[in-house]
């Protein structure tokens, strides 16, 4: 009697893992697609991000566009959503490996039938952490406009000296031990999940939120550069998103982070010296 063997990768467990992977990847792609489209469309502003990018002036010298916007509750909510949707568009791609690894980990556990649901809880926690950053960025934008260090209509810093100071501060943070520690967690999701994985939907949300906080600690200074280049400037949005992905997904390029820090400090000093 001959026994018919199952080809590798075609068993029920492998099929379920591919099913989970398809669900998670499809959800990630949809989230990225919608957030990118909404960002380019202007997130409810009077102009699209394409228009804002086209009208962007030199650093610290925004184009004059009339009176400052009125900061009422509806405008504050709109600015918060603008920041949060941008963060979702910029950070979700680099978080995809951690989400997929989390899915595989849950599939190997005792509640494997809920792996996809737990992965979405993990992603929700991650994005909530960046929602906290977006809330802080909204407050920072309001403060900067009130003290006239930021142009309201163009949403970018006024003054080359202050723009240079932000560049120097962001560059200096690249060289700190806190940046290094947070980046290490982002670069090694397997080690992070081994240490912080928790059971259940709430545990998945908590783990995702913690991963998001480490990611926030790694990247918040880079996101502050949007104040320099223009919050709705697509070149700066895309450039920072690509750089963040390189930092996370290419851990062997240890020279990248300190080199970027030195470059930002140099550019900031040059702006201050020539202002």
pLDDT in tens, 156-165: 999 999 999 9
By mean pLDDT, which of 7-21, 27-41, 124-138, 154-168 is the weakest? 7-21
Which tokens sit at 221? 């200074």
Reply yes or no on whether the pLDDT at 41 is more than 90: no
Reply yes or no on whether the pLDDT at 20 is more than 70: no
- Cα 101 from Cα 68, distance rounded (Å): 46
196 and 122 Cβ atoms separated by less than 8 Å: no
CA 67 to chain centre: 31
Pairing outcome for strands 150-151 and 156-157: antiparallel
Which residue's structure tokens are 């390029």? 253
- Cα 108 from Cα 128, distance rounded (Å): 26
Reply yes or no on whether the pLDDT at 50 is more than 50: yes
Higher local confidence (pLDDT), 134 or 46: 134
DSSP 8-state assignment for residue 109? S
DSSP string, 60-74: T-PPP-SSPPP--HH
pLDDT in tens, 84-141: 999 999 999 888 889 988 888 888 766 667 778 889 999 999 999 999 999 999 999 9
- List 156's β-bridge partners, or say none: 151
Angle at Cα 130 formed by Cα 106 and Cα 196, nearest 5°? 35
For 174-203, what is the mean pLDDT? 92
């Amino acid at each position: 009697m001959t026994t018919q063997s199952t080809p590798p990768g075609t068993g029920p467990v492998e099929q379920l893992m591919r099913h989970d992977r398809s669900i998670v990847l499809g959800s990630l792609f949809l989230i990225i697609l919608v957030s990118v489209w909404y960002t380019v469309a202007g997130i409810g502003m009077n102009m699209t991000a394409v228009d804002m990018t086209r009208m962007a002036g030199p650093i610290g010298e925004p184009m004059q566009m009339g009176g400052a916007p009125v900061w009422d509750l509806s405008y504050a909510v709109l600015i918060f959503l603008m920041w949060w949707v941008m963060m979702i568009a910029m950070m979700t791609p680099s978080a995809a490996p951690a989400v997929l690894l989390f899915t595989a980990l849950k599939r190997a556990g005792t509640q494997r039938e809920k792996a996809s649901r737990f992965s979405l809880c993990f992603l929700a926690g991650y994005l909530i952490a960046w929602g906290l950053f977006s809330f802080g960025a909204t407050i920072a934008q309001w403060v900067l406009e009130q003290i006239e260090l930021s142009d309201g209509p163009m949403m970018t810093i006024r003054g080359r000296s202050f723009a240079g100071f932000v560049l120097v501060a962001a560059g200096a943070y690249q060289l700190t031990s806190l940046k290094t520690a947070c980046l290490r967690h982002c670069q090694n999701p397997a080690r992070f999940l081994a240490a912080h994985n928790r059971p259940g939907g709430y545990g998945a949300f908590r783990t995702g939120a913690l991963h998001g906080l480490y990611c926030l600690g790694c990247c918040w200074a880079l996101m502050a550069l949007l104040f320099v280049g223009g919050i709705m400037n697509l070149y700066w949005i895309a450039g920072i998103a690509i750089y963040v992905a390189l930092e996370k997904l290419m851990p062997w390029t240890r020279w990248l982070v300190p080199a970027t820090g030195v470059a930002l400090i140099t550019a900031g000093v040059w702006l201050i010296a020539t202002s």
